Chain A
Amino acid sequence: MARLNLILLVIAVACALATVAANHKGRKLFVELEREQVRMRQLEVEWGQLQLEQSTWAGHPRIEKIARELLGMRPPVPGQIVSLEARQK
């Protein structure tokens, strides 16, 4: 009888410790998840800012200015345009 009680006590203590450990682990994972979610938000924000930056760099006024002034480009005059017929398949 006393032996059974002892075994049950040991089991109960082990279960209690396991519960505590699982809870702790759960919280740690939760904190990690939380951190990753914050990071996700930050990356989304950064993506938005990069998109903004991209469209600023790729703005038509800027491209036209560079093409005309830096690279000396200009639109072709009518005589220089050769239009090709699409080949029938």
Chain B
Amino acid sequence: MRLAEELEGVWAILEKDLKAYYFKPPNISWGILFPIVLALSFSLRNPEGLIDLAPGLIAMAALFGTTSMEAIVITFEKRVGALERLQLAPINSASIIIGKLLGGTVFGLIISSVMTFITIVFLGAEILNPFAFILVLLLTNVVHSALGALVAVSVKEVFEAQTLSNYFRFPMIFLCGVFLPLDEMPQAFRFLGRLLPLTYSVDAFRGLMVEPRAIFIDLLVLIGFCLFLPYLSVVKFSRNQE
């Protein structure tokens, strides 16, 4: 009964967020345009090696798709007192955070799916194991949405959320093997890259699209982040109430 009530709360928050924020025409059009522009700019720069970049582009689309909206939605609601309304309801903090991060996950899934579609249809990329690919895509979006939620619950203002998001987003593009494989980087960068979830997403996508190999460890690490980051967000969110 209690679980059913929590799930009802999660679903209500997800449904409301999609309707009130994510599925607004400007966001949807940005969500579709962003991967197209990204793919187009890379294809003009280097038409030959684009398939090699496909895993990084998909991971990057997920990273930006989830974190860009997620952090803003939470901090905006915090600012106008709407998040307080959720805290007043008979559901726990975990349900609020899960509801919130699922909104970011759905939006990120849409953007990264558009990017996947582009890489397959227009760039000729192939997916070797569709089931594993969908799993990695899902985990990638959950992990980065949770990262966005963690940033949002840690700050007060929308601009702080955006600034803090950029602090980790842009270094991640360079440290996580999006453009340059991790093995070709200096030792220190390689170490830093191994601490970031995007590295495992790019690695897994690469294993499923470009260099066929087992992605078991990547999956395990992504699942670990999937549990750890939302947990941290819930702890931080609950502490804010004290």
Q: Do A and B bind each other?
A: no
Interface residues, chain A, with chain B CB atoms under 8 Å away: none
> Chain B: residues with CB nearer than 8 A to chain A?
none
